[in-house]
Each structure stands twice: as C-alpha cells, then as structure tokens.
Amino acid sequence: MTPCITVLTPLYNRAQYIERLYFCLCAQTRKDFQWLIIDDGSDERSDAIFDEYKEYAEFSIDYVYKENGGKHTALNYSHPYIKSDWVLILDSDDMLTSDAVDTAASYIEKYGESESIGIISFQRGHDTGSPFVKFPDGDTVSDYIEFRINGKRPGDCCEVVRADVLREFAFPVYVGERFMNESHLWIGSADKYKTVFVPKVIYICEYVEGGLTKSGRSFWRTCPMGGMHSQIVGLNKRCSLIYRAKRAVLLHYYGRLLNMKVKDICRDSGQPFFVWLFTLPGLILYNRWEKKYK
C-alpha cells in the first residue's frame, strides 16, 4: 500500500531529539505514512534505535545512513527511498501537530490531481500555535516568488512537496561545502509549479544551538559556491527589484570569498550589468562581514 505521504527527516548528531520526534509521529491521528530518516553521517549510527521503533510503530519507518555532506545532500539522497507521491520535510529538532499528516493528506486529495500544483505550504509556528509567517484567510493558489518574496512574507513554513518536484530540482553539490539554501528548490520551481498556501499551523519549530539557522553567517561563509548559486537563483526577474538587489550584493560577497574578479562575478550571474551596479555595496558588505564573522 502506498503511504499517503512521506515524512522526510534529515538527521545529523541529533540523537537526543529522536525519541521526542518518534512519539510526536506516534501521536498522529492518521498512521498510513512513511517516516524516512536520512542520517547524514552522524558520529554514532542510530540503526538499533530505529529497529526497535519499527517493532511498535503503526507507520512505516526507513532509516538510511550516508556519509556527511550537509542537509541538501541528505535531501538528494532520499530520492530512491521515498515511497509516496508527496513529501513533508521535518527537521530532527522540530515536531508536528497531531493532525499534521491528516491535514496534509486531505489537501493532497484536494489539490494533488492538478499537475500544475507542485507544493502545498502550511505554516510553522511556536508551541502556542502562533505562526511565523502570516497567511491570508482561505487557501491561496500562487507561487513562491509572487506570494512569499513579492508579497513580503519571509520566514520558515512547512512545505509539502510533490516527490517528482523534489527530484526534478535536486540540489547542486559542491565539493567541500555542506550547506545549500533551500531557495534553490522553492524559487527554482516557482516558474513551473504553483503552490497552495494554507493558513494552518501543522509544524512546531525549535531552533537549537548548532543548527543551520543558529549557525548563521559564520557557517554560510564556508560555503561560497553554494552561496553564489543561491543568489543567482534569487536574481529571477520575476522577483522584486529590492530582493534582486540584495541578491546581487550578496553575490559579490560570495564571489570575493572565492577571490573572483568583479567581471567574472558579473558574467557568471547571467545578468552582468545589473550585478555590476552593486559592486561597491558588495565590497562594503564583504569588508564588514569578514571583520565580524571570519
């Protein structure tokens, strides 16, 4: 029987959160889902833990171990192990509301037959139920660029993405770099697929020390090629001018981390004249952040 959804958890040295996450999934009101864990090279494998869970869980559990490469490589690695048509990405230090799978499945049934719909986006929130990003009342069919970027709605949401879209927009991997912004997927797919934005919190978020969000710029600067790629994706001409200007400034920052010449940064952007306009702000940002985060 095909699961109604795959809950995909990239895992890296978060053993202390595994039990909490497991019981969160056990509390789901709908149990016909797959829990797929991609262990991104944790110092200690967790095979025994998940083997025990499999004996008691009312849902399918698949645990896969790989060499460390970063969350984006774990998402790529998951592709052949996904058993459903839709995927909810759940970080190992977060939780779902008890009706999350049931809610996601109901919207998949409502919108999933439309090939133009590639993503269903729900809200993330605190344990109080307060959402990080405010959505208008009622379902909104739009896309990431128009609704999130141009609509000035920054912040983390809970995306349920069609498995084929996740595979189609696999993350590029650069040797030695362990981070890639997920904008590659969300912005990259926006020209081809619509997103349904649902004003309901189904994902409870907690940012822990040592996580990607907490690590911030001091970690991102160690991944300049991935940083450049993310900014180039953000130069999409459908994005607002202010958003594109910020991407151009950041592109110069990452390019300078790679000791690239200005002409090469501009050329590789695909929009050389536009990016050239932000050469000086990019230099100022580079000098400021290198003093602060190096």
pLDDT of residue 209: 52
The identity of residue 185, as a single letter, is: L
Output the pTM of the full model. Answer: 0.93
pLDDT of residue 15: 83
pLDDT of residue 261: 97
138 dihedral zone (left: phi>0; alpha: psi -120 to 50; beta)? left
- Give Cα separations from 100 to 20, 116, 162, 181 (angstroms): 16, 23, 17, 25
The identity of residue 98, as a single letter, is: S
Query: In tens digits, what is the pLDDT along the chain, a chain of 294 residues?
Result: 899 999 999 999 988 899 999 999 999 999 999 999 999 999 989 999 999 999 999 999 999 999 999 999 999 999 999 999 999 999 999 999 999 999 999 999 999 999 999 999 999 998 777 899 999 999 999 999 999 999 999 999 999 999 999 999 999 999 999 999 999 999 999 999 999 999 999 999 876 555 555 456 777 889 999 999 999 999 999 999 999 999 999 999 999 999 999 999 999 999 999 999 999 999 999 999 988 887
pLDDT of residue 110: 97
pLDDT of residue 4: 97
pLDDT of residue 208: 57
Beta strands 157-162 and 86-89 are: antiparallel
